[in-house]
Amino acid sequence: MELRDKIIGQLSAMTPPISGGCLCGDVTYICREAPVWSANCHCRSCQALSGGPFVSAFSVPAQCFNLTGGTVSFRRNAESGYEVVTTHCANCGSRVYAQSKGATHLVNVFATTLDDASCFKPVSNVYVSEAAHWIDPPETVINFAKMPQA
Ligand SMILES: [Zn+2]
Ligand SMILES: [Zn+2]
């Protein structure tokens, strides 16, 4: 099977509308288009922000993503040189999505917020070079030592 077919196969498990929200329920979202990418990020920043060894997220077109509820944002400069904004529930602190100023047409939604997480399949591992020593990155279609250039 070609790489492209494998990627499409992973993503096709998620059919819109895709809904989710934070732990306390104040923040909910709905996404009306299918994801274009999904990844496990093993970078040190995601580890520190999440409290776990990696985070899992799927990327959807920003214009089809609708969120309701109070949020707070955390901004940091990524290795790419672009600012990355992570949006959290203002009440419980759950990370809901992140967006890079270098790719504002996409939002990267954390898979742990899905109402039905059974449909999530990661296409890739990114920042495998920074992966925690106590885990083996889950099997995916493609692995990147750092973040691939879009
Ligand atoms: Zn919340
Ligand atoms: Zn990361």
The pLDDT value recorded for residue 147 is: 82
Structure tokens at 31: 């996404």
Instruction: Kindly identify the ligand whose nearest atom is closest to the C-alpha of 67.
Output: 1
Residue 45 CA to ligand 2 center (angstroms) comes to 6
CB atoms within 10 A of CB 101: 14
Q: How far is CA 72 from CA 86, 88, 96, in A?
A: 8, 5, 10
Ligand nearest to the CA of 45: 2
Cβ–Cβ under 8 Å, residues 79 and 146: yes
Find the 21 Cα to ligand 1 centroid distance in Å: 8
pLDDT of residue 150: 57
pTM for the model stands at: 0.94
Reply yes or no on whether the pLDDT at 60 is more than 90: yes
| Distance from C-alpha of 115 to C-alpha of 122, rounded to nearest angstrom | 17
Single-letter residue type at 31:
C
Q: How far is the CA of 141 from the centre of ligand 1 (A)?
A: 32
* Closest listed ligand to the CA of 91: 1
At 84-112, the pLDDT tens digits run 999 999 999 999 999 999 999 999 999 99
Q: Which residues surround ligand 1, an ion (CB under 5 A)?
A: 22, 24, 26, 89, 91-92
Q: 62-75 b/e with 16+ CB inside 10 Å = b?
A: eeebebebebeeee
Q: Could you give the C-alpha distances from 70 to 8, 28, 136, 137, in angstroms and in order?
A: 34, 10, 36, 33
Question: What pLDDT score does 1 carry?
Answer: 73
Give the Å distance between the CA of 26 and the centre of ligand 1.
5
Report the b/e string of 24-42 with b at 16+ CB within 10 A. eebbbbbbeebbebbbbbb
Read off the pLDDT of each residue in 52-69 and give the average, rounded to a whole number: 97
Fold of 17-143: glutathione-dependent formaldehyde- activating enzyme (gfa) (3.90.1590)
Mean pLDDT of 101-127: 96
Give the chain's mean pLDDT.
95
> What are the pLDDT digits (tens) for 16-53?
999 999 999 999 999 999 999 999 999 999 999 999 99
Q: Is 47 helix (H, G, I), strand (E, B) or coil?
A: helix
Mean pLDDT of 57-64: 97
How close is the Cα of 69 to the center of ligand 1, in Å? 8
Sole residue written with tokens 């973040």: 147
Report pLDDT for 148.
Answer: 79
Domain limits of the chain?
17-143
Q: In the predicted model, is pLDDT for residue 7 greater than 90?
A: yes
Between strands 124-126 and 37-41, the pairing is parallel
CA 73 – ligand 1 centroid, Å: 13
